[in-house]
Amino acid sequence: MDAVEKLAASLSELSENSRRLIRAMQHANFGRITISVRDGGPDAAATWHIQRTVKLVGGENGPRPETSCADFPLRNEHKALFGELKQLPDGVRVTIEIKHGLPVFIEVNQACDA
């Protein structure tokens, strides 16, 4: 993640991998996405796992309306997510919990020496 990423205020100012992650979250709407981290951001070369949560009756199960927007201001949740990813070493797996297309929690899975 470069200096522009740190100061990004809108989708268009993010790296391609970070834009891809935001779009994946918007398409899932509710659920979890597991990614690997490389250079302080999402690693597009590694496989991402997307688990959608579907409400069977009366839920908002489709993609977010923002998926049709070419650009939009980043929410604080997006900025917080990218701030956390920036601090992690390469190869760490992160599971992001998504609600209403936004990251709300992350789980960081990294190896440690016993």
Band (pLDDT 50/70/90 cuts) for residue 98 is very high
The reply to whether 97 falls in a domain is yes
The reply to whether 64 falls in a domain is no
The kind and range of the H/E element at 104 are strand 102-109
Rg (CA), the chain: 14
Band (pLDDT 50/70/90 cuts) for residue 7 is low
> Given this model, what pLDDT does residue 100 score?
93
Mean pLDDT (the chain) is 89
The reply to whether 41 falls in a domain is yes
Residue 62 has pLDDT above 70, yes or no: yes
Tally the domains of the chain. 1
* 17-31 tens-digit pLDDT: 999 999 999 999 999
Structural domain boundaries, residue 103: 3-57+72-107
Stretch 21-49: mean pLDDT: 96
Could you tell me the two tokens for 107?
């789980």
